[in-house]
Amino acid sequence: MKKALFFKNFVILNDFLDDYKATNSEKNKAKELKFNVFFELYDDDDEKYYSGYMHEDIEDEFEPQDWAINYAGCTSTKIRNKETRKMEIL
């Protein structure tokens, strides 16, 4: 991945397979578009592949995982709990 991937309901900012980290401009664009729930996508060996943000009111929280399972074989999602700030398996 050579740039952040913006979708309607989520954005992939970091690609840990390709060592890509989002630019400040991409991070700012994600904030402007109100992507506000942080998530991480993992494979079945619990290796982190991607991270990004989704909209708080997304209807299907598995939408990023659905993209990633087809794209790279990701099988689980963790989201950051806004109260505890800890990552939790979705």
pLDDT at 70: 87
Residue-number span of the structural domain to which 28 is assigned: 5-89
Each of the 90 residues of the chain gets a pLDDT tens digit; together they read 789 999 999 999 999 999 999 999 999 999 999 999 999 999 999 999 999 999 999 999 999 999 999 888 999 999 999 899 999 998
Strand order in the sheet with 5-6: 5-6, 10-15, 48-54, 37-42, 76-80, 87-89
pLDDT at 1: 74
pLDDT at 14: 97
What pTM did the predictor assign? 0.92
Domain count for the chain: 1
Cβ proximity of 11 and 52 under 8 Å: yes
Cβ proximity of 52 and 43 under 8 Å: no
Within 13 Å and on the Cβ side, how many CA atoms surround 16? 13
